[in-house]
Amino acid sequence: MTILNNDRGTVLIAAILILVLLTLLGITGIYTSTIEKSIAVNDQIYKMTFYVAEAGRTYVVANSDLYGPDNITPGSPVSFPLPSPAPAVPAMGSGLSFDGEVEYLEPGNVPPGFPFDTTWEAHFYKATSQGHGPRNAQVAIEVGFFRPQKLE
């Protein structure tokens, strides 16, 4: 019985296997980091677009023409931002903008807890602000509010 003393290629095979495993590990790491980067960018775009929509909501609060006595017809919303001479929308960066509408819903009683007596009524509104961002990102925010009105 002869034993072959032929183990000279085992180190080469072991080295190749280790290189293949390290290559697979490197490819997996690159793939994972690419996915993580994509998730982070998408989250950043969503947040920017959300805050632009929030800026639209703040724009409504600052422009009482949108919910004043001229807007008390149900079913006929007023769009914003208003055309000139209203204050311009501040520059928010490239590809970021907002728009929306304020809709008068109905008159009613002033909600409890507000310091108004029975000589006041409430005019209820719904504001929808849409933020537009990069990569066609869109976020819509809807808020309900009322404006007190003294009864005549």
Q: Domain coordinates of the chain in residue numbers?
A: 13-150
Query: CA-CA distance, 144 to 152, in Å (whole number)?
Result: 25
Instruction: Say if residues 49 and 139 touch (Cβ distance below 8 Å).
Output: yes
Query: CA-CA distance, 92 to 65, in Å (whole number)?
Result: 23
* Interval 26-38: pLDDT, tens: 999 999 999 999 9
Average pLDDT over every residue of 103-127? 90
* Interval 123-134: pLDDT, tens: 999 999 999 999
Average pLDDT over every residue of 84-106? 72
What is the model's pTM? 0.76
Average pLDDT over every residue of 67-77? 89
**Radius of gyration for the alpha carbons in the chain, expressed in angstroms and rounded:** 31
Residue 120 — φ and ψ, nearest 5°? Answer: -120, 150
Average pLDDT over every residue of 15-27? 97
* Average pLDDT taken over every residue of the chain: 88
Instruction: Say if residues 41 and 33 touch (Cβ distance below 8 Å).
Output: no
